[in-house]
Amino acid sequence: MSFNRMSVTALALALAAMTAAPAALAHTHVHEMSIADNAKLAASPPDFTFELSEAAGLAKVTLADAAGKAIPLAYTPPKDMAASFKIPLPKLDAGAYVLSFRTIADDGHAMTTAVHFTVTG
């Protein structure tokens, strides 16, 4: 059986893609959050917690109302890497909010996550 140059190249590319896939899937990801995206909450939550698949640095956390107006947080991200974070939230009136956070994994991969939620009561 003989292979032509195109077949060998195609096989090499396929093998490279299969071996690279696990590395691409190995990035840190959000494992669990105390407030689900698009949640409707009866009362203002006292805090927001989230857990990552592995330790990462928390670079930034922001909270905004439906109009995009920033709501100050009494929280400074820690300097150390961690797999879980607890962010205290101010008392929120009824309305829609977006909480965003940016993490940086040990390999330098940055990930921004936004959680949309509504306080109904």
CATH number at residue 66: 2.60.40.1220
- In-domain check, residue 18: no
In the chain, % helix, strand, coil (3-state, to 5) comes to 15, 45, 35
Q: Mean of the per-residue pLDDT values for the chain?
A: 85
- In-domain check, residue 32: yes
What pLDDT, in 10s, does the model give residues 30-47? Answer: 989 999 999 999 999 999
Tell me how many domains the chain contains: 1
pLDDT (0 to 100) of residue 73: 97
Give residue 26's pLDDT band: very low, low, confident or very high (50, 70, 90).
Answer: low
Residues 85 and 7: beta-carbon distance below 8 Å:
no
Q: Which domain holds residue 40?
A: 28-119
- In-domain check, residue 72: yes
- In-domain check, residue 45: yes
DSSP 3-state of 32: strand
Write down the pTM of the prediction. Answer: 0.76
pLDDT > 60? residue 118: yes
